[in-house]
Amino acid sequence: MLDIHPEIPPPLDPAFAPAALWTRAYRDLVARDASARDVEITLVRGDGGRSLHRARVLAAAHPRAALTLRHVERMVKFLLWQRGGCRVLIAGADELVAPLARIYGPQGARAFDRDFMGEKIYGQPFEVARAEMSRAPSAPGGGNDGSGESVPGIGGHLDGCRIGFDLGGSDRKVAALIDGRVVYSEEIPWNPYFEKDPAYHIDGVQDLLVRAASHLPRVDAIGGSAAGVYVNNEVRAASLFRSVPPELFEKDIRRMFPGLRGRWGGVPFEVANDGEVTALAGSMFMKDHTVLGISMGTSQAGGYVTPGGGITPWLNELAFVPVDYRPGAPRDEWSGDAGCGVQYFSQQAVARLARAAGFGFPDAMPPPEQLAAVQDAMKKDDPRARAIYETIGGYLGYSLGHYADFYELRNILILGRVTSGEGGAIIIARARAILQAAFPALASRLALRTPGEQEKRHGQAIAAASLPKIEK
């Protein structure tokens, strides 16, 4: 391991080993290695889209070369959940291909990632393979590393008569817009998590569209947002439909949005992950681009708006991105991996830290109730609650330093139930302090903000409505 000493250790988690500092220490070794070399990691998605990430690594014969596998494996993990891909091509370090293939093999430590990225998302077998070094120069992509990928901007269109909808776990929202002006909006309770019948979900969305259309002279375009992974408007994985049996999911849910588009005469129809649409909403209200949205709720959600002002076909599932490189880091109960964002930026993080703070909540107490209790304690200026939020702010500051290796960053939109109330201000203040101390150059160009009331009321539906482009 590398010797990591955070400038401002999180008060409730002094063993935290920020990925950004681990990477910085590894790069220091590389800078002193006269035989260091370039490595290229290329990710290929099911539709043929590909992106390239370049890095410098130690020579294969270096005394500490074992660190390189850890470094590259963690980069691969980040890139898979940022950009998506069912093929991982390694060039410039042939000795890493076989161990990475085992790690991401059917019985390997990353079997979950393999299965999710392969058949589940892209409908193809997952593969790690050797490749030749490319000779193409670095080209601008969605990140700051020269991904070489031309990222099409999606969203930001407000012309015409549009419908936007947002599907959440407890309510479904809809808005009707005429040239960007909201003429109708409504929020309707529903309970999708436990509904097995596909008709409940499909009819629920159709009902929203009918309600909104009654307030428009015509419907030119429809856009929607929902938690989950959507590829070419198909549902590939989404918690909203967790109770639908697999055979009915494949038959009725996977292509529910293309089916709804057919009902509405084939008008432009786009559906995107809610984290992406949240970031787009922030960009539209800020009237600025290059936005990374981070939502801390039941899990951690992410979304990214490019310097060009659109969202990407990437996944940006930050809950699965590693941010803590220490041995024995908290494990994600779903994927089994250690040190990933969900354990640091969600209700689960609050529940984990509440024990360290001495709250003594019963084990059976659900995380949302633990969060509510911590928020109540914060209102009374309980130092235990303050320590929880300062710790999460510490995680955030160091993780933004790591995200900057993979994204071009200028605006960070912080939201979600964990950031409600005074706790959110403490999180942001601590993150800013760490950025100033550990990443001053990044801090000088980075703005951290939270959504305003107007964004909260209409932002998501407006941004969703802006997703499709109306061809003239």
Helix residue spans in 116-197 (DSSP H) = none
Q: What H or E segment, with its residue span, contains residue 280?
A: helix 274-286
Query: 161-277 maps to which CATH number?
Result: 3.30.420.40
Query: 279-458 maps to which CATH number?
Result: 3.30.420.40
Q: How far apart are CA 89 and CA 128, in angstroms?
A: 6
User: Which residues touch 174 (CB under 8 Å, ≥6 apart)?
Assistant: 163, 164, 165, 166, 184, 185, 186, 188, 208, 209, 211, 212, 461
Sign of CA dihedral 80, 86, 91, 93: positive
Give one word for 328, left, alpha or beta, with left for phi > 0 and alpha for psi -120 to 50: left
Sign of CA dihedral 402, 403, 406, 411: negative
DSSP state of 265: T
Q: What is the DSSP string of 338-354?
A: BSBGGGTSSHHHHHHHH
Give the burial class of 344: count Cβ atoms within 10 A of its Cβ; 0-12 exposed, 13-18 middle, 19 or more buried: buried
Whether the CB-CB separation of 375 and 420 falls below 8 Å is answered with yes
| pLDDT value of residue 147 | 54
Which two tokens mark 239?
């918690």
Phi, psi of 253 (to 5 degrees): -90, -40
Which two tokens mark 448?
């951290």
Whether the CB-CB separation of 55 and 90 falls below 8 Å is answered with no
Phi, psi of 196 (to 5 degrees): -85, -25
pLDDT, block means (10 residues), the chain with 472 residues: 91 97 98 97 90 96 97 98 96 98 97 95 95 68 46 80 91 93 92 94 97 98 92 90 95 97 96 90 88 91 90 91 96 93 96 97 93 97 98 98 96 93 96 98 95 71 91 80
| pLDDT value of residue 148 | 55
**Percentages (nearest 5) of helix, strand, coil residues in the chain:** 40, 20, 40
| pLDDT value of residue 146 | 45
Residue 365 C-alpha from the chain's centroid: 27
DSSP state of 18: B
CA separation, residue 366 to residues 14, 160, 353 (Å): 26, 45, 14
| pLDDT value of residue 309 | 85
Domain boundary assignment for the chain? 33-130, 161-277, 279-458
Identical fold, 161-277 and 279-458: yes
